């Protein structure tokens, strides 16, 4: 059970790590690193799952998430929110904005795989 993942992240080492982890399992992974054009890219690619960083150049991941949730075409899209700040308030912000799941950096390979599999199956 695989599909297409859109990774919206601006740190090259994290992009490479997640691409490697998911590609090995048969997922097709595309990355995008500009917050300003992220929503448009989600609409064009129509991925099965989005992995979204909370802090991006141009626009916050929380703003992007809220906009995706407000649109009927992306309202139910499974979105995994990634952040380097794992405090309770960050988790609550992600939940309020509509994140399907929340994960803090650093993360393990198994955590990423489990989260993407669970979101795709949801």
Q: Are 96 and 89 in contact (CB under 8 A)?
A: no
pLDDT for position 87? 87
Provide the pLDDT confidence category of residue 122 given band limits of 50, 70 and 90: low
Residue (of 79, 85, 44) closest to 64 by Cα position: 79
Delimit the domains of the chain by residue range: 35-109
Q: pLDDT per residue over 83-98, tens digit each? A: 988 889 989 999 999 9
Q: pLDDT per residue over 37-91, tens digit each? A: 999 999 999 999 999 999 999 999 999 999 999 999 999 999 999 998 888 998 9
Following DSSP, what letter does each residue of 11-63 receive, concatenated?
Answer: -HHHHHHHHHHHHHTT-EEEEE--GGGHHHHHHHH--SEEEEESS-SSS-HHH
The answer, yes or no, to whether residue 1 has pLDDT greater than 80, is no
> Which CATH number, 3.90.650.10, 3.40.50.2300, 3.40.50.300, 3.40.50.620, labels domain 35-109?
3.40.50.2300
Residue (of 38, 40, 43, 30) closest to 57 by Cα position: 38
């Amino acid at each position: 059970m695989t599909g297409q993942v859109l990774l919206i992240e601006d740190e090259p080492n994290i992009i490479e790590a997640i691409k490697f982890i998911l590609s090995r399992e048969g997922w097709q992974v595309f990355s995008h690193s500009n917050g300003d054009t992220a929503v448009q890219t989600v609409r064009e690619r129509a991925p099965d799952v989005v992995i979204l960083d909370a802090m991006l150049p141009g626009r916050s991941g929380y703003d992007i998430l809220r906009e995706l949730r407000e649109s009927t075409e992306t309202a139910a899209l499974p979105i995994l929110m990634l952040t380097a700040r794992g405090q309770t308030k960050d988790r609550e912000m992600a939940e309020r904005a509509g994140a399907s799941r929340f994960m803090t950096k650093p993360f393990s390979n198994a955590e990423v795989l489990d989260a993407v599999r669970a979101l795709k199956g949801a």
